[in-house]
Structure 1
Amino acid sequence: MVENKKKYAYWMYPSMVKEIEKSLDLANATSKSDFVCQAVKFYIRFLHLGKSMNLIAPLLEQTVHNEAESVERNLSEMMFKIAVELGVLSNVICAAHNYSDETVSSLRENVAEEVASTNGVFTFEDAYLWQKD
């Protein structure tokens, strides 16, 4: 349904009228009246959106919270599995070699420094090259 415009008289500050005139092109408005109509529509949508957001925000917050908990749980499970595998690997290596306490302590210190200096990015190839030096 097409609605016809009707003339109304509203009070407005002269400085606002000057701003409207400066902003006609920016708003892609054909006249001051068109500009005001666009602005009023925008503000009405903004007000309705604010009410909608008051209803949607808690639902969105809960959804994000649940998703974050799920990711945290998955990461924790994966880290646990990796820690178990690393423990098995460490025990196999220790059983196969007879390292001294000093060697193990020195290796731990050196590896910690290397991992810190590479920001945690330390590959098998890096270890291979490091052991060859």
Structure 2
Amino acid sequence: MGRVKNRHTLWLYDDTWGLVGSHYKDHNCTTQNEFIEQAIRFYCGYLDAGRDGTYLPNTLSAVLEGALGALGDRLGKLLFKLAVEESMLMHIISHDTDITPDELEHLRGRCVRDVMRTRGMIGFKDILRFQKEL
């Protein structure tokens, strides 16, 4: 059975509440309550650190999960946008290109070798140079 959250009254100075409001979004919290709960757990972990030495690994793990989760979300959105733009470009190019399926398969093999050889660092200038030498 899952944990159940309960409502608790909290008395804070206005400037302290202002700190919560100005920091909670910066720390990947969706609500101010989530920020306060994380802050309490963080501080309690800090106080308990002298007893069992588990504070740093748990805190580090929580921080890394938050940062890497946000990074993963951002990279996923950027990759989706890039895939859409690439698809549009492929449709435009294929509309005006006369290439046979065999030529396309040969080109795909060459591109795979180029990317592997350059470890993904092949640039437009390299491809242009190759095309002009043909």
1:129 and 2:117 aligned? no
Instruction: Give the match for residue 73 of structure 1.
Output: 73
Instruction: Give the match for residue 99 of structure 1.
Output: 99
Counterpart secondary structure, 2:54: helix
Q: In the alignment, residue 97 of structure 1 is paired with which amino acid? A: T
Q: CA deviation at 1:73?
A: 1.1
**Compared with structure 1, are the counterparts of its residues 62 and 97 closer, same or farther at alpha carbon in structure 2 (3 Å cutoff)?**
same
Instruction: Give the match for residue 90 of structure 2.
Output: 90
Counterpart secondary structure, 1:103: helix
Instruction: Give the match for residue 110 of structure 2.
Output: 110
Aligned-partner Cα distance in 1 for 2:85–2:52:
49
Contact 2:49 2:55 survives alignment (8 Å): no
Summarize the alignment of residues 12-27 of structure 1 with structure 2, pairs less than 5 Å apart: none
Please say which structure displays the higher CA radius of gyration.
Answer: 1
More deviation in 51-60 or 107-116?
51-60
Question: What is the percent sequence identity of the aligned residues?
Answer: 22
Q: Deviations over 1:45-64 (max 9, x none)?
A: xxx96537423432221111
Which segments of 5 or more consecutive residues in structure 1 lack a partner in the other structure? 1-47
Runs of 4+ aligned residues of structure 1 deviating over 3 Å after TM superposition are: 48-53
Aligned-partner Cα distance in 1 for 2:69–2:79:
15
* TM-align CA RMSD: 1.9
1:119 and 2:119 aligned? yes
Higher relative contact order (CA 8 A, sep 6+): 2
Counterpart secondary structure, 2:119: coil
Aligned-partner Cα distance in 2 for 1:119–1:55:
40
What is the TM-score of this pair, normalised by structure 1? 0.58
Aligned-partner Cα distance in 2 for 1:59–1:79:
30
Q: In the alignment, residue 51 of structure 2 is paired with which amino acid? A: K
Aligned-partner Cα distance in 2 for 1:50–1:112:
55
